[in-house]
Amino acid sequence: MAKPTINNPGRKLLRTSDYACQYMTHDSMVHRLGAGWKIAFGTLLSALAVGARTPGELLALVVVVLVYYFAARLTPFDLWRDTKFFVFQAVLVTGLYCLLSGVSRGLWPGVRQSVQIILFYIPGAVLLRTTRTGDMMRGLRRVVPYRLSFLVFVSIRFVPFFLRELNEIMTAQRLRGARLLPRQMVDPRNWGDLFHCLLLPLMVRALKIADDVSLSAESREFGSRKQRTFFDISRQAGPAGTMSERDHPDYPVALQPCDPPGNGKRKGLI
């Protein structure tokens, strides 16, 4: 059997997702659930996570949240991707509790709070992993104007992009001698590097990307009309993931009333 290579598209990939909270194009019962339901159910689970106090309550909630997560056909690898920072944080929080109150008195509160934070976060991760841009915007636009729902979505969509940028900046600066490793951050004299070498370039990049994104949206007439239509990709997807109108002859027409043609901002003569 040929060894998998990056240039062999026929190989079986180990890769499930590229980064935490990446949308996965599976088909699962959670994927098919409406974005509004997922937001409501996720909010309920997160609220229960905040309220859970006893080991029994927490254990029951862990089971429910994991069933919800894996029902979305996500893998343990995805779960690790989504929660690894929280796991490190859990170790830190529990360790600090034990340090301050002793192991016998500090262990349970530390574990409880750490698990609560992870359980609070996972439903949000499921929402992002199972909901397309359009579905999310469709869900959000019921409560907020479409321009605002787009803003919320784009902010989430570009989080992984900025995480990659953060990593690239950190790499470049470490190679120039900046002290940015976690162990180097223990020394307050290195905190200046964190701001000057990491956060400042990141802010500059963020402003540049924000400008690019707004130009991209504007160039494609986003916001030029009071309303917009929404194209439901899931109802157009054929068995092989390709679109076929014949498969869906009853596809709905415009979901929202629109301005009459030509009523939007049209640039022609200055």
Partner 1 sequence: MAMETLKIHSLTYTYPGSTLPALADVSCTIRVGECICLTGDSGCGKTTLLLAIKGLLRGNSLSGAIEFAAPPNDDGRSTPVGLVFQNAESQILCTTVSEEVAFGPENLCTPPLEIARRVRRSLGAVGLEGCETRHVERFSAGQKQRLTIASVLSMNPSLLLLDEPTSQLDSRGKQELCELLTGFKREGYTIIMTEHDPRPFAAIIDRYLPMAGGRIGAAAATLPEPDRYAAKAAVILRSTAVDDAAAIAVQGLCFSYPETGVALKQVSLQVMRGERVHLYGDNGAGKSSLLRCLTGLERPDSGTVELAGIANPRPEHLPGKVGVLFQNPARQLFAESVHEEVAYTLRRLGWSSHETEAQVTEALTLCGIGNLAERAPLTLSFGEQHRVALAAVVAPKPGVLLLDEPFAGLDFPQRLALLDILAEMSGRYGTTVLIVSHDVLPDHSWADRTLKLSGGLLGETDH
Neighbouring residues of 30: CB distance < 8 A, sequence distance ≥ 6 = 38, 68, 71, 72, 73, 126, 130
Q: Which of residues 176-195 bind partner 1 (CB under 8 A)?
A: 176-178, 181
HSE-up (13 A, CA, CB side) for residue 53: 1
- Sign, CA dihedral 243-227-160-86, equals negative
Residue number with CB closer to partner 1 (57 or 165)? 165
Cβ atoms of 247 and 238 within 8 Å: the answer is yes
26: β partners: none
* Interface residue with partner 1, options 1, 67, 186, 253 (CB under 8 A): 253
Q: Which of residues 209-238 bind partner 1 (CB under 8 A)?
A: 209, 212-213, 215-225, 227-233, 236-237
Residue number with CB closer to partner 1 (85 or 103)? 85
Q: Which of residues 19-38 bind partner 1 (CB under 8 A)?
A: 19, 22-25
**CB of residue 63 to partner 1, shortest distance in Å:** 28
Vertex 50, ends 44 and 53: CA angle to 5°? 120
Amino acid letter at 123? P
104 binds partner 1 (CB under 8 A): no
Between CA 123 and CA 42 the distance in angstroms is 5
* Interface residue with partner 1, options 79, 98, 117, 258 (CB under 8 A): 258
Vertex 13, ends 8 and 19: CA angle to 5°? 120
Query: 């089971």: which residue's tokens?
Result: 63
**CB of residue 187 to partner 1, shortest distance in Å:** 14
Q: Which of residues 49-88 bind partner 1 (CB under 8 A)?
A: none
Residue number with CB closer to partner 1 (89 or 227)? 227
Cβ atoms of 21 and 13 within 8 Å: the answer is no
x/- map, 132-171, partner 1, by CB under 8 A: xxx-------------------x--x--xx---x--xx-x
Closest CA to 126 of 48, 193, 56, 70: 70
Residue number with CB closer to partner 1 (73 or 225)? 225
Residue number with CB closer to partner 1 (117 or 213)? 213
Region binding partner 1 by CB under 8 A among candidate stretches 36-44, 48-56, 101-109, 208-216: 208-216
**CB of residue 94 to partner 1, shortest distance in Å:** 27
